[in-house]
Amino acid sequence: MARDKRARLTGRRGTPDPGHERFAKLPEQVCESEAYAWNTDWSRCVLIALLVGATESNNGLLSLTASEARTRGVKDQWKLYAGLRILCITGLIACTRHGRLERGGKLCSLYGVTWRAILPNEKFDTDFDGCGAVPSNAYLKWRPPSRKEWRSIVQRIANTSRGRKKSCPNHDGAH
């Protein structure tokens, strides 16, 4: 007979087991990088909310639904979607599976942080090629554009996430 989740997470006395405690681990090297510094405050909040679900073995399988994001401090849905796009552009995270409808159900997008290895998984999109035992560290390879261009990119992503028209049709900014 399988034990329920609460039984697994608590000890004999009903207190939480410290081995199952979740927290967002953000290395100092990442915090001091250009990619992190050039992110908006709200996209950094999205990164922390995404990291709350991270463990040693699930990098690449991280998801962040709108309801989870709200409970973790990302109150506006547009900030969630815009933040994820900006984090992908700056190389801090990689999208391993794009969300879609499949067989009458919804599949959420999956992400992995690039400073840790992303091991292959059958849940990933077939065109995702960022797997390996060594981290890609894509955020270290990202080079910022001019401040004016970066502001334009961020503004366009924010506007499209809010459902407004694109303010800069020449630049796609997709990941």
C-alpha–C-alpha distance, residues 165 and 149, integer Å: 18
Tokens of 114: 């690039």
Between 78 and 21, the higher pLDDT residue? 78
Q: pLDDT digit string (tens) for 114-167?
A: 999 999 999 999 888 888 889 999 999 999 999 999 999 999 999 999 986 544
Alpha carbon of residue 145 to chain centroid: 22
Alpha helices (H) in the chain, listed in sequence order: 5-9, 28-31, 34-37, 41-51, 66-71, 77-89, 138-141, 147-161
User: pLDDT tens digit string along 24-48?
Assistant: 889 999 999 999 999 999 999 999 9
Residue 163: both structure tokens together: 């459902």
Residue 20 gets which letter from DSSP? G
Of 120, 170, 163, nearest to 145 by C-alpha is 170
Phi, psi of 71 (to 5 degrees): -70, -20
pTM higher than 0.85:
no
